[in-house]
Amino acid sequence: MKVGVVKEIVPGETRVAATPETVSKMMVANMEVLIESSAGKHAYFSDQDYTQAGAHVLMSAKEVYAQTDVVLKVQPPFNDEVDFLREGSTLIAPLYPVKNADLIKKLNAKKITAFSLELLPRIARAQSMDILSSMSNLAGYKSVMMAAEHLGKIFPMMTTAAGTILPARPLQPLVVWVAW
């Protein structure tokens, strides 16, 4: 089976659908991995990292689409990307089918088997594939880091020889009075 990974074209997207570590795991499972050149650049993975993991680096997304049975993506494909998918191939990506009905129709017309990752059940057996929980976790972490940057005070309480620095209170308790 040939698995393809292409560069994400959504502006500002820095993620990539496979890391060199996951490519190594796919190689153990006897999969051939084709990756578009510079697909991992914004995630700090070089083409050499992927080559060392066993992937074949191709120069364009069109080449990857044309040669693979399964395509992995971080974002839903744009319409012109669907045109490049081979008829009868498989797409694994978040698709948001309720708001992307035209995309789903286009995938159906090309007989593409599609797995919409955001619809995976959030259960223990599916945890390793659960994109919603992992992204929510990262968003929560990043929001705390962004708040810390703008607060102008440290978060933890520190006791040193010079004294005690009280912790920040980023969320003040909200008291609501109800008049009866």
CATH code (residue 57): 3.40.50.720
Q: Is the pTM of this model over 0.85?
A: no
Whether 34 is covered by a domain: the verdict is yes
Residue with tokens 């693979």: 68
Q: What is the pLDDT of residues 53-107, one digit of tens each?
A: 999 999 999 999 999 999 999 999 998 899 999 999 999 999 999 999 999 999 9
Whether 75 is covered by a domain: the verdict is yes
Q: What is the pLDDT of residues 119-161, one digit of tens each?
A: 887 777 877 777 777 777 788 888 878 877 877 766 666 677 7
Whether 179 is covered by a domain: the verdict is no
Structural domain including 58 reads: 2-119
Residue 73 exposed, middle or buried by CB count within 10 Å (0-12, 13-18, 19+) = buried
Name 137's Cβ contacts closer than 8 Å, sequence gap at least 6: none
**Total count of domains within the chain:** 1
